[in-house]
Chains A and B, each alone.
Chain A
Amino acid sequence: MQRVFPFFVEAALVTIEITMLALILGLVVAALAAAAKMSKSAILQAIGTLYVSLFRGTPCLIQLFVLYFGGPQVGINLDPFAAGVIGLGLNIGAYMAESIRGALIAVDRGQTEAARTIGFSRFQTLRKVVMPQAARLMIRPLGVNTIALLKGSALVSTISVVELTYTAQRFIGSTYKPFEIFGVAALLYMIIVYAIASAVDFLDKRFAIV
C-alpha cells in the first residue's frame, strides 16, 4: 500500500488540475451561453438554447468520445488531457449556464425597474444592481455543479487520462486488493469533494443576505 500511495497522490493532483481547468472553461462558456439565452437577439437565443439543450440532453461520456475519437475525422486532433478538459468544460458549461440564468431571473424585477427609473442605464443596472444580488444566489448551484464536475472527471479515465479513477482501476487489477485500492481512491475523492462543499458553505454564509 505504501508502495502505490505516491501514485495516488499524483493522480489526485491530475484530477484536481483537470477539474480546475474544466471549471474555468465551463464558467466562461456558461456566462456566454446565459447571456446569449437572455439577449434580445433571436439568433443568439437560439444558439444558447441549442447548446444548453444538446449538452444537457446527451451523456458526458458520449461528448468526450465524439471529441476524442471522432475529432480526428473532422480535423480536430487533441491529446487525451486536452480533450478531457474541453469535453468536461463544455459539458458542465451547459449546466452552469442554467445556474447563472436561474440566479439572474431570481432577482426581483422591481430591482431592475427601480434602477432604470432613477436613471441607470441597462448595463449599469446589470452591473451595479442585478449582478451583486444574483452572484450570491449563484454560489450554491455553481458549487453543486463543481462537485458534479469533479466526480464527472472520472470519465476521462476512459480516454486514457491517467487520473485518480484510471490509477485505481490499474491497481485494482494488479494488486488484487480491491477494497484497499477503492478505499484510498474514495478517500482522496471525498477529501476533495467535501473540501469544495465546505468552501461553498463558507462562501454561501459569508455572502448571505441577512
Chain B
Amino acid sequence: MQGLDFSVVVPYWDLLLTGAWWTALLTVSAGALSFVFGILFAVTVLYAPVVVAYPVRAFMWVFMGTPLLLQLFLIYFGLVQIGIDIPALAAGIIGLGLHFAVYNADVIRAGIVAVDVGQTEGARSIGFGKLQTLRYVVIPQAIRNTAPPIGSNLIALLKESSIVSVIGIAELVHSAQLAISETFRPFEFYITAAALYYILNLVLEAGLRRFERNVEVSR
C-alpha cells in the first residue's frame, strides 16, 4: 500500500483536459448522429414499406439486445476483416451514434404515435402533402414531447462514451491510461477522470434542464 498523492496529476492536467475536450466532442457528434438517425429509424419503422421497415426493425432489435462494447468490436475490429477499414474515431462515433439512435428511435416512434390524429388531418386538409405533414407538423411535436427521454439518452451517451477508449480513441479514459502508464498511479488518475466526467455530466444536465424549460414555455 502506497500513500495517495494527488499532486502527481498536476503535470498531466493538460493531457486530461484535452481528453475531456475529446469526450465532449465525441458526445456532441455521436449525440447529433443518434438524434438524426433516431428520427430516421422511427419514421422508417412506422411508414416505410415492409421490405425496408423490417430490416430496420431487426437491426434495432439486435442493437437493443446487445452490449455497446460488443458492437464497437464488430465495427472496429470486425469490419476490417471483410475489407472495411474505418478509422478508430469514426468507428467510435458511428458505434455510439447508432447504439443511441436505436434508443432514441424507440422513444420518438412512441412520440409520433402519440401525436393527435387531428393534427395530421388538419394539416392534410389545408393542403400539406404526406411528407410535409410529417416534416412540419407531426415530427416537431413528437420531438418536443419526447425531449426529456432523449435528453437522458444523451446523458447516458456521455458516460458510455468512456467505452470507446478500448478501441484507442484519445478521450478522457484513454488520457488517464496514458498518464497511468508513465506514473503507475491508477487511483489518482481514475478518480480525477471520474471528477471530470462528473463535471461534464453536471454541465450537460444543467443545459438540458434549461432547454426543456424553454420548450415548456414555448407551448
Using a CB–CB cutoff of 8 Å, the interface residues on chain A facing chain B are 54, 57-63, 65-66, 69-75, 151-155, 157-158, 164-165, 168-169, 172-173, 176-179, 181-182, 185-186, 189-190, 193-194
Contacts and interface: CB of A to CB of B under 8 A. Distances in A.
Contacts, number: 123
24 contacts: A59-B161, A62-B190, A62-B193, A65-B173, A65-B186, A66-B187, A66-B191, A70-B188, A70-B190, A74-B4, A74-B187, A152-B67, A154-B67, A154-B68, A165-B69, A169-B77, A172-B73, A172-B78, A176-B81, A179-B82, A182-B74, A186-B66, A190-B61, A190-B66
Given A58-B159, A73-B2, A178 B69 contact: no
Interface string B74-90: 10011101100000000
A158 B193 CA distance: 17
How big is chain B's contact interface, by range?
35 or more
Contacts of A75: 1
B123 interface: no
Interface in B158-210: 159-163, 165-166, 173, 180, 185-188, 190-191, 193-194, 197-198, 201-202
Q: Which 3 A-B pairs have the closest CB atoms?
A: A178-B78, A70-B187, A154-B67
Contacts of A157: 69
B191 A70 contact: yes
Chain A contact residues: over half helix, strand or loop, or mixed?
helix
Given A74-B1, A185-B66, A190-B61, 4 more contacts: A62-B162, A151-B66, A186-B70, A193-B66
A151 B102 CA distance: 15
B66 to A, nearest CB: 5
B103 to A, nearest CB: 11
A153 B67 CA distance: 8
B197 A57 contact: yes
B11 interface: no
A54 B159 CA distance: 12
Contacts of A62: 162, 173, 190, 193-194, 197
Contacts of B61: 190
Chain B contact residues: over half helix, strand or loop, or mixed?
helix
B67 A151 contact: yes
Contacts of B49: none
Interface of B: 1-2, 4, 61-62, 64-70, 73-74, 77-79, 81-82, 159-163, 165-166, 173, 180, 185-188, 190-191, 193-194, 197-198, 201-202
Contact of A69 (B166, B186, B201, B202): B186
Nearest to A77: B1
B66 A189 contact: yes
A189 B1 contact: no
A57 B175 CA distance: 19
B79 A73 contact: no
Contacts of A189: 65-67, 70
Given A54-B198, A152-B67, A165-B67, A173 B162 contact: no
A168 B67 CA distance: 12
A60 B201 CA distance: 13
A107 B61 CA distance: 33
A157 B190 CA distance: 18
A15 to B, nearest CB: 9
Contact of A58 (B78, B165, B188, B194): B194
Nearest to B5: A73
Contacts of A152: 67
